[in-house]
Amino acid sequence: MKHTLTVIFNARILTPDGWIENGSLLINDGKIAQIADSEIHAEDEGKEIRRVDAGGGLLLPGFIDIHVHGGGGYDAMLGSAEHIQGMCRFHASNGTTSLLATTLTATHEEIITALECAGQLIKTGHEPDGANLLGVHLEGPFLNAARCGAQNPADLRDPSIEEFDAFWEASQGTIKLMTIAPELSHAEEVIRYAVSKGVVISLGHTDADFATMRRATEWGATQVTHLFNGMRSLHHREPGAAGGALMLDQLAVELICDGIHVHPGLIKWAFDIKPEGKVLLITDSMCAAGCPDGEYLLGKLPVIMKQGKVYLKQEDGTEGGLAGSSLTMIEALANAVKFTGMDIAELVPALTIHPAEQIGVSHSKGTIEPGKDADLIIVNEQFQVCQTFVLGNRVYASEGLCLDDLDRERRDLT
């Protein structure tokens, strides 16, 4: 079998040391082999040389979405390989090269089914045709009914080590992140136990006060789920969960950067006051992302998407609370540039290396450096994803944009 070397050239490459203008990059066996400030002329008699013209576009590390329920009509909770792979393909077309399939509050059996499916896909492995499934984000059922948002209140319950163990076994040990309300009964013992298994603990859907948030960091919590949403708000006499998220430097915070879930001014403020590396942009997108406006289901709950906003459908058909998002990671980046005034290079780490560090994969993902996985995207000035590479495989190419030489040849022949 003849293997392939890939050379991406004519690119503006974002590296940890800054931009390389008119740069090129060599991919070999799924890894970044070389980066140069001029065109790389690769030669290998045993390998086919594939050349990709980036058209002067930005070559960025692929996005890592650690909180995503679905997209493109696909839903991680349905316990179907087709659905998980479908959402991975959809999000790859929007710049995501790795993700955590995120669950919802549901019955024990429904969560088990979803976890078994995700765990099996991860453990069996396959050549990716979309974003790489890195693991699971267990969001629910250990959440507070007072702050449940679009999580089904009928299925909420207190944490237990026994149920967490069942989830862990079903996932084949692939739970990387768990959202939990720290004020619930037995939360401390479950948090400590999950941390001992290597699970990152994110505090969310919580009515915790500031003191409880601080105690939770002592138990091992290091993250906060979708800051400002699904939590006790900031008050000048009681900072609450939101205040704790902002004031406790050891906590990284997720942000849904769509301008709907969080005011643009607060997004800028979070970047201003949190330490470097502690703001993580996520989508929290559900199955309707990338689909037409209309009615959908989030778990068992009916929702409506209208002009990109997803909300719970009330019994009388009126608009209820927010129910996830229709956001994509490339949109999150574009919005963050607009909302904060920061440079792209300053913001990309919030979608790449910082989530990679949070879930323990920064040794192989999150930046463009020799030896790391070739998880890469080519983006134009209009924040459109032109091509997406996962482990060196091109899993997405936008028709008519950034076509490589082989694509041009095929077009000429037709």
Is-catalytic flag, 284? yes
| Domain match, 83 and 138 both | yes
Asked whether residue 106 falls in the same domain as residue 69, the answer is: yes
pLDDT at 1 over 60: no
Q: Which two tokens stand for residue 235?
A: 């008050």
The answer to whether residues 9 and 119 belong to one domain is no
pLDDT higher than 60, residue 411 = no
- Radius of gyration from C-alpha coordinates of the chain: 21
**Same domain, yes or no: 150 and 242:** yes
- Answer whether residue 244 shows pLDDT above 70: yes
| Whether residue 154 sits in one domain with residue 23 | no
Choice among 207, 284, 373, 404 that is catalytic: 284
Identity of the amino acid at 122: I
* Last residue of one domain, picked from the residues 358, 390, 405: 358
Query: pLDDT tens-digit profile of 75-124?
Result: 999 999 999 999 999 999 999 999 999 999 999 999 999 999 999 999 99
Burial class (CB in 10 A: 0-12, 13-18, 19+), 83: buried
Q: Quick one: average pLDDT of 161-190?
A: 98
Q: Identify the domain boundary among 337, 358, 379.
A: 358
33 shares its domain with 138: no
Decide if pLDDT at 264 tops 80: yes
Total-model pTM: 0.95
CATH of the domain at 15: 2.30.40.10
Whether 239 and 386 map to the same domain: the answer is: no
Rounded-to-10 torsion of CA 83, 89, 93, 95: 100
Query: What was the pLDDT predicted at 403?
Result: 43
Q: What is the 3-state secondary structure (H, E, C) of the chain?
A: CCEEEEEEEEEEEEECCEEEEEEEEEEECCEEEEEECCCCCCCCCCEEEEEEECCCCEEEECEEEEEECEECCEEHHHCCHHHHHHHHHHHHCCCEEEEEEECCCCCHHHHHHHHHHHHHHHHHCCCCCCCEEEEEEEECCCCCHHHCCCCCHHHCCCCCHHHHHHHHHHCCCCEEEEEECCCCCCHHHHHHHHHHCCCEEEECCECCCHHHHHHHHHHCCCEECCCCCCECCCCCCCCHHHHHHHHCCCCEEEEECCCCCCCHHHHHHHHHHCCCCCEEEECCECCCCCCCCEEEEECCEEEEEECCEEEEECCCCCEEEECCECCCHHHHHHHHHHHHCCCHHHHHHHHCHHHHHHCCCCCCCCCCCCCCECCEEEECCCCCEEEEEECCEEEEECCCCCCCHHHHHHHHHC
List residues bridging with 397 in a β-sheet: 387
Phi first, then psi: give them for residue 349, nearest 5 degrees: -60, -25
Q: What's the pLDDT score for residue 112? A: 98
For the residues 278-298, what does the mean pLDDT come to? 97
Q: Is the pLDDT of residue 413 over 50?
A: no
Count: domains in the chain = 2
Higher pLDDT residue, 172 or 39? 172
Report pLDDT digits (tens) over 48-60: 889 999 999 999 9
Given a cut of 70, is residue 401 above it in pLDDT?
no
Q: What are phi and psi of 74, to 5 degrees?
A: -105, 150
- pLDDT band, very low/low/confident/very high, at 414 (cuts 50, 70, 90): very low
- Residues 8, 107 within the same domain: no
pLDDT band at 317 (very low <50, low <70, confident <90, very high): confident
Mean pLDDT rounded to a whole number for the chain: 94
Say whether both 279 and 339 belong to one domain. Answer: yes
The amino acid occupying position 203 is L
Within this chain, do residues 56 and 67 fall inside the same structural domain, yes or no?
A: no
CATH of the domain at 270: 3.20.20.140
Domain residues for 201? Answer: 63-358
Are residues 202 and 351 located together in one domain of the fold?
yes
Q: Are residues 116 and 237 in the same domain?
A: yes
